[in-house]
Amino acid sequence: MSTQPTPPPQCPAHAAGAGGGGLHRLHGPEAEADPFALYERLRAEYGAVAPVLVSGDLPAWLVLGHRENLDVARTPSRFARDPRGWRDMKEGRVPADTPLGPMVSWVPVCNFTDGPVHERLRGAVVDSLERFDKRGIRRYVTRFANQLVDRIAGDGYADLVASFSDQLPMLVMTQLVGAPDEHGPRLVKAARDMLQGTETALQSDRYVTLTLEQLVMERKVKPAHDLASWLIEHPADLSDTEVLMHLRVVLIAAYETTANLIANTLRTVLTDPRFRASLSGGHMTLPDALEQVLWDDPPINTIIGRWATGDTLLGGQQVKAGDMLLLGLAAGNADPQIRPDPSVSVHGNRSHLAFSSGPHECPGQDIGRAIADTGIEVLLDRLPDLQLAVGADELRWRGTLMSRHILGLPVRFTPRSVENAAPHTERASEHPPHVPIPPQPTVAPGPAPAAGHRRGGGWWRRLFGRR
Ligand code: HEM
């Protein structure tokens, strides 16, 4: 499928040599400034699979081809999710304090396991997530989105990242997980803080863990309609620690991904003329915009990783047993083999890689989509004349190896009092949660906030940050 203009190196470690000379780094300024340009340079040089260097100049293969990404994700017998097979780790070349730590240090949870162990753990998560009633989730989202809009409606301006996209997913997720209402606001704040790499992240992490521990204890005695209770009662018979760890996995896996999806979709909605046209009967609806973003700007660019279980050929490259592979989700979505003209709309086509594929494919995708599209719908309903307060080219991004997010989305709109706002969609649930929303920063109209926004790194990266 993909072309391979130059003879491939034997394996990334050999090609890198002692200092990794000549290989492109997936960390540092080149990648962060414009990851998409780097993918295309790599594709031109190596074809569908490229040798690269990651944090600490460790060698890896970046999978750029759409088909090759699917091959890797769908063939766990050749490419394991369990990082303990990583040769560089086994042979002592990975420093103990590698920033990749949380993504490559094995923990017995569904996203680090393969085979029957994975099936058991993931089965419990998937079955429990499936017990949520879709309409019920949308009601939670509607309720929280309205509360967030209430806070900005009178101002006439806002930063939608700080006041909306960064807030909504955690508000919804803490409810779904089952966090007791008295912990609601503090848990939302702590869970976001823990993931944003602030100075208080460690403290917040402890608070989240303690709250979840308490939740598990409470639900064992008094089950409710929430993820904690359903994981506890699942026939897979998870231990208390397994329940706790999977509640953490779900909270964390859902947060930055969904926040990025909301922010990127809002950017599309506010800047893409095809969406504006749809308001007057044109061609791009909100679900279309969401799907376009999942193709063009997936919330996770790159997944670390998979580890080759034996010597194998992939995209013409000779991969060796124990090599690390990175699933290039964004790169695969832009593969010219499947999208010769990236400017053509992907209308109705859901074969993107944003949720990965195979046995580890995201089990929360429907929930993530529901939070994003219902939330944005409420926002646009309530503030129909929403406009970007800066030029689209003034928006700033921050990139890490795994994800890229907008630092701020300053908008203006006609201020309106909450009492007079559009009939406020309290299509509420039978038991609508009333969780006071923790204070959030506000911005005056002006340029996008400077880099330095607190979000510190990828979602997975902090998954098992030391407590
Ligand atoms: C819309 C935003 C989301 C995106 C783009 C996304 C994407 C992903 C991706 C790419 C993976 C990794 C798959 C792999 O290793 O191949 C993943 C795994 C996972 N996601 Fe999501 N996700 C989103 C939202 C959610 C939500 C809302 C939840 C929970 C309700 C969730 C729960 C999980 C879990 C538990 C895993 C680990 C699954 C496993 O390893 O078996 N995600 N997600």
Query: Which tokens go with 175?
Result: 């409810």
pLDDT recorded at residue 442: 37
| Helices (H), ranges, 81-183 | 87-90, 101-104, 115-130, 134-153, 160, 168-177
Check if 47 has its Cβ closer than 6 Å to any atom of ligand 1: no
Other beta carbons within 10 angstroms of residue 280's beta carbon come to 6
Q: How far apart are CA 79 and CA 320, in angstroms?
A: 11
Q: Is 254 in the pocket of ligand 1 (CB under 6 A)?
A: yes
Tell whether ligand 1 has an atom less than 6 A from the beta carbon of residue 38. Answer: no
Find out whether the beta carbon of 13 lies less than 6 Å from any atom of ligand 1. Answer: no
As a whole number of angstroms, the distance between CA 171 and CA 158 comes to: 19
Q: What is the DSSP string of 164-201?
A: IITTHHHHHHHHHHT--GGGHHHHHHHHHHHHTT-TTH
Alpha carbon distances (Å) from 63 to 140, 218, 294: 38, 44, 18
What pLDDT sits at residue 417? 86
Task: Tell me the CA–centroid distance for residue 263 and ligand 1, in Å.
Answer: 17
CB 265 within 8 A of CB 298: no
State which of 257, 302, 306 you would mutate to test the pocket of ligand 1, scoring each by most atoms of that ligand within 8 A of its C-beta.
257
pLDDT, position 462:
40
Please indicate whether residue 355, judged by its CB atom, sits closer than 6 Å to ligand 1: yes
Closest Cα to atom 37 of ligand 1: 111
Q: Looking at residue 346, what is its pLDDT?
A: 80
Measured from the CB, is residue 368 less than 6 Å from ligand 1? Answer: yes
pLDDT of residue 367: 98
Q: Which pLDDT tens digits describe the chain residue by residue (467 residues)?
A: 344 444 344 445 444 433 445 788 887 787 888 899 999 999 999 999 999 999 889 999 999 999 999 999 999 999 999 999 999 999 999 988 888 877 888 999 999 999 999 999 999 999 999 999 999 999 999 999 999 999 999 999 999 999 999 999 999 999 999 986 666 678 888 877 777 667 788 888 889 899 999 999 999 999 999 999 999 999 999 999 999 999 999 998 999 899 999 999 999 999 988 777 655 555 678 998 999 999 999 999 999 999 999 999 999 999 999 999 999 999 999 999 999 988 888 877 899 999 999 999 999 999 999 999 999 999 999 999 999 999 999 999 887 788 888 999 999 999 998 865 544 433 333 333 444 555 544 334 333 333 333 343 333 344 333 33
Q: What is the spatial distance between Cα 311 and Cα 237, in angstroms, rounded to a whole number?
A: 37
Nearest of 170, 181, 176, 182 to residue 227 by alpha carbon: 176
Whether 364 lines ligand 1, by a CB cut-off of 6 Å, is yes
pLDDT of residue 282: 56
pLDDT of residue 429: 34
Instruction: Check residue 388 and give its pLDDT.
Output: 96
Among 362, 373, 461, the mutation site with the greatest number of ligand 1 atoms within 8 A of its Cβ is 362
* Amino acid symbol at 35: P
How many A from CA of 463 to the centre of ligand 1? Answer: 12
C-alpha closest to that of 52 among 253, 331, 256 = 331
Residue 345 structure tokens: 């709309």
What spacing in Å lies between the alpha carbon of 253 and ligand 1's midpoint? 6
